[in-house]
Amino acid sequence: MEGAHDMGGVKWSGPVRPEPDEPVFHAEWERRAFAITMAMGMPGGWNIDMSRFAREDRPPEDYLGKSYYQIWLAGLERLMLERSLVAPDEIEAAKPLHPAKPVKRTLGPDDVAAVLHRGGPTEREAKAPAVFAAGDRVRAKMIHPPTHTRLPRYVRGHVGVIERVLGCHVFPDSNATGAGENPQWLYTVTFDGRELWGDVSDPNLKVSVDAWEPYLERT
């Protein structure tokens, strides 16, 4: 999906602004937004790729007009509304108006440490050997799927070199749509700066992305 979230190389005004002694959260609502988003993953039953798509699949003016945790919140609302866990009139009324939908599990305080420690590993057993090996030259395909993808625009069509074979991992393009994990080989692909940006690039720049096998073709 072509969205404002895919920012690599976009001309942006103004410098990066580090904030000295930055706090983890800047407001109480950010704390709460973070926590409810994290906690709803378990009863909600969505996966990380569905979450990312729910945040990113919005008009550029909306995406760019929201702060980071406002985007999280909008994504969370969308995921919950899609599954009828909450209804629009409840958000409007700021209280429950309909019975709760049965959920398999909720996150209790005793689960928090273990759930965070376990995380969500994405590596899976490979069903077929990797097509590419370190050193192979590959081209990032020129794809424009209307659904979720993790191949950034700035590398599409460009030629790079397989630097590392990272194992077989859950494929976001499938996982985000509910079509299953569909694990695919994952590679670190390294591009010369000049291949991506032309003569304006620092000649000593190399940029890598981690790309699943379906994103790549042999040159």
Contacts (CB under 8 A) with other proteins, residues 117-136: 117-123
Residue selected from 2, 59, 82, 103 as contacting other proteins according to rule CB under 8 A: 103
Whole-angstrom distance, CA of residue 162 vs CA of residue 159:
10
Residue selected from 45, 57, 70, 158 as contacting other proteins according to rule CB under 8 A: 70
22 binds other proteins (CB under 8 A): yes
| 101 or 137: CB nearest other proteins | 101
Residue selected from 45, 141, 152, 156 as contacting other proteins according to rule CB under 8 A: 152
Whole-angstrom distance, CA of residue 122 vs CA of residue 175:
11
Report, in Å, the least distance between residue 178 CB and other proteins: 18
140 binds other proteins (CB under 8 A): no
Q: Which residues contact 129 (CB under 8 A, 6 or more apart)?
A: none
| 44 or 162: CB nearest other proteins | 44
Contact, 53 vs 76, CB < 8 A? no
Return the CA Rg of the chain.
20
181 binds other proteins (CB under 8 A): no
In terms of Cα–Cα distance, which of 174, 164, 101, 105 is closest to 132?
164
43 binds other proteins (CB under 8 A): yes
Local structure of 10: helix, strand or coil: coil
Residue selected from 81, 124, 166, 182 as contacting other proteins according to rule CB under 8 A: 166
Report, in Å, the least distance between residue 42 CB and other proteins: 9
199 binds other proteins (CB under 8 A): no
Residue entry with tokens 């409840």 = 90
Q: Are strands 159-169 and 184-192 parallel, antiparallel or unpaired?
A: antiparallel
